[in-house]
Amino acid sequence: MKRMLFLLFVLTCSIHSIAQSFKDGRNTPACTACEQLFKSKPKEVQFGIRINPDGAIVFLTNNTDFFNKLFTAPGDAITVDLVRKSQYNCDKPLPARTIPKGEFLTPVYLSQLRNKMKKENDGRIAIELGKVPAHLQKEELEGNLVVIKNGVICHYMNFVNIERSLWELLPMGLFADTLMNRKTSGSFYARKLQFTIPFPKSKSVYNAADIKPLYDSLQLAGNHITQMDIRAYASVEGSTELNFQLQEQRAASIVKALQQYQVSKIPGNITTAENWVEFFDDIKGTAFENLTPLPQPEIKKRLQDKGLQAQLEPVLKEHRKAVITIYINRNNDLENVTSEVLISKFKKALEEKDKKTASAVQREVFDRIADNRLAGNYLDKLEIPHTKENLFLLNNQETYRYQLNPTNEDAIIEKLEGLLKLDPTDKKVLYNICSLTFNVWKSDSGYIASADFLKEINTLAKLGIPSSLVKRMLINYHIVYSEQTYRRFNYAAKDESIGYILDNYEDLQLTDEETMALAKYLAWYSRRNDAIDLLQDRVKRIDVNEDVLFYYINLHLFTPEIFKVPELRTVVLNAISINRPRFCKFFNSTGNGGASFQLLDAEALWGLYCEYCR
């Protein structure tokens, strides 16, 4: 037994040393053809290395044609450089950038590559290259792709993980009495308002009298708040922990004060942060700009100086505030009416042809079902004669049914098409049909011809649907159509659709979430610079959505040296202030939810990591 183990050890070492012996042939004549091929590679062609939970190391690609152009000779091979996160230790110098950075697997040559080739469910080609060696199985690892041609290394690449999204469409809403918008939490709203409340240095409690001028100025009377999101900011001096506690007290006090103007409970989300974004922006070009490159703890230490703090107080006082977003619906004076009385009110409204009251009853019943205060089939008790004069109410009814159970678009579309027999030109019904068609069309390109669907969308503008809503639909049309043409390898048509989106999105008032959805779409097609441009202005605002902020950083991780730039460092410090663990997670392995720990090869990121994440 001992002799067999010894022979196995010798054999393993022998194979390992062979794998390590390949020389770097990049930028030599032996690799000229390979390098030119990679330079001409379409951006749509992608590679990857995946390490499965069972230790299998897998090469991935989405394009067999390019694979066959790259690997042509029997001696062509792939190996993987296995790199350990433990190589990056803040108490030691950065590891040298050598090849291999870690340990090579035994190469897999062309004949084996073709024999092991399998197609995965998402259409990608997968080739298992080997297993993680026993001595590395407890390590956090990443695999770098190594292409061998003519007996030398001709291409070497590591990977940065970036979240991308193909089918995330811009919200279009559905028309009932008004356009219904759905928050990601599932609640509905008609309007969204945003405003800012400054915090005096010593004030932490707000009452109804403090809020009354704001309440009146926003004309909230006659409406009810369905949700309120508060982002409370502290100026950067003082203890971070105490700053956060103070901001939470202030924010909770504002919620309590507004609650006094409304019977139903106002759901609220509160997040707190120190206002580093505006601090760095406001000291730019002043005598205090020398604070900018310093680490945050050092800046706080210097601000303990009462003299410096007094000099900066005119700046700091502007940074103590809350940015509040509220989502509202109109009141309908039916909140305290019993469910039985609602039915009789609806019947009476129909008899008197009082569409306003009938519509208000429909909405109240919908709200109660959505809040689980009524059974899901209660809408059926609101019986509506199938006539043209009731088309408005019939459309409401189908819209509410779908919003309560948004699963079967086909069935709702069929019912709405039945309503068109009452009036083929009803713009709300036609809009709803187009809006619902997207979810079917994106999974079944044969559901409707692309040219016919485009014509139906453009017709909406002629019927009086606001141009901003039509343009949203057109952008969504091109999001879906670009993927359909991409799958047919019609890259020119795909790029034309992307061009339309880039030329037209600025005409819309997009939320942070919607802007990020577009950025993920652009990243899907390797349009990273366009995605960065899309988010550029958003991340400079203190009320930027946290997901947008971190996605913007993620996009820049492809060029890590840029983190030396002061403007980007400010963005990073804002992200760390809002959610430090999330920032540090970027430096997990690609298989462990991170972007890549090999990003730490860049000194700027290494410094940030060792300061905030070790």
Higher pLDDT among residues 273 and 180, named by residue: 273
pLDDT band at 263 (very low <50, low <70, confident <90, very high): confident
Report phi then psi at 218, rounded to 5: -85, -5
> Which amino acid is located at 41 in the chain?
K
pLDDT at 522 > cutoff 90: yes
Give strand pairing partners of 153.
Answer: 24, 148
Are the beta carbons of 120 and 29 closer than 8 angstroms? no
Q: What domains lie within the chain, and their CATH numbers?
A: 2-157 (no CATH), 174-330 (3.30.1330.60), 365-612 (1.25.40.10)
Q: In this predicted structure, what is the pLDDT of residue 13?
A: 35
Q: In this predicted structure, what is the pLDDT of residue 574?
A: 83
Higher pLDDT among residues 220 and 144, named by residue: 144
Higher pLDDT among residues 185 and 363, named by residue: 363
- Cα separation values, 130 from 51, 112, 115, 146, 335, Å: 10, 11, 14, 14, 65
Q: In this predicted structure, what is the pLDDT of residue 386?
A: 93
State yes or no: cis peptide before 100, omega within 30 of 0: yes
Contacts of 81 (CB under 8 A, 6+ apart): 99, 100, 101, 102, 103, 104, 143, 144, 146, 156
Q: What is the rounded average pLDDT of the residues 545-555?
A: 91
Alpha-carbon span 130 to 206, nearest angstrom: 64
- Look at the alpha carbons of 104, 557, 62, 70 in this order and tell me if their dihedral is positive or negative: negative
Give strand pairing partners of 147.
Answer: 78, 155
Using one digit for the tens of pLDDT, what is the confidence trace for 14-25? 334 444 578 999
Using one digit for the tens of pLDDT, what is the confidence trace for 320-345? 888 888 887 776 678 778 888 999 99
Q: What is the rounded average pLDDT of the residues 294-299?
A: 86
Tokens linked to 375: 């059974």
pLDDT band at 221 (very low <50, low <70, confident <90, very high): low
Quote the DSSP letter at residue 170. P
- Cα separation values, 398 from 170, 174, 183, 379, 566, Å: 22, 10, 20, 10, 53
pLDDT band at 222 (very low <50, low <70, confident <90, very high): low
* H/E run at residue 84: strand 77-84
Q: In this predicted structure, what is the pLDDT of residue 218?
A: 61
Report phi then psi at 487, rounded to 5: -65, -20
Place of tokens 């997990």: 588
pLDDT band at 404 (very low <50, low <70, confident <90, very high): confident
Using one digit for the tens of pLDDT, what is the confidence trace for 105-116? 999 999 999 999
Alpha-carbon span 579 to 583, nearest angstrom: 7
Number of neighbours of residue 88 by Cβ within 10 angstroms: 19
Q: What is the rounded average pLDDT of the residues 243-264?
A: 80
Q: What is the rounded average pLDDT of the residues 338-360?
A: 91
Q: What is the rounded average pLDDT of the residues 256-266?
A: 77
Using one digit for the tens of pLDDT, what is the confidence trace for 556-594? 988 888 888 878 888 888 888 888 999 999 999 999 999
pLDDT band at 274 (very low <50, low <70, confident <90, very high): confident
- Cα separation values, 262 from 145, 212, 406, 449, Å: 60, 13, 30, 49
Whether this prediction's pTM lies above 0.85 is answered by no
Q: In this predicted structure, what is the pLDDT of residue 270?
A: 85
Alpha-carbon span 323 to 442, nearest angstrom: 37
Q: In this predicted structure, what is the pLDDT of residue 17?
A: 44
Lowest mean pLDDT among 72-81, 177-186, 196-205: 177-186
Helices (H) and strands (E) in the chain, counts: 23, 17
* H/E run at residue 216: helix 208-217
pLDDT band at 6 (very low <50, low <70, confident <90, very high): very low
Q: In this predicted structure, what is the pLDDT of residue 20?
A: 53
pLDDT band at 312 (very low <50, low <70, confident <90, very high): very high
Decide: helix, strand or coil at residue 273.
strand
pLDDT at 84 > cutoff 60: yes
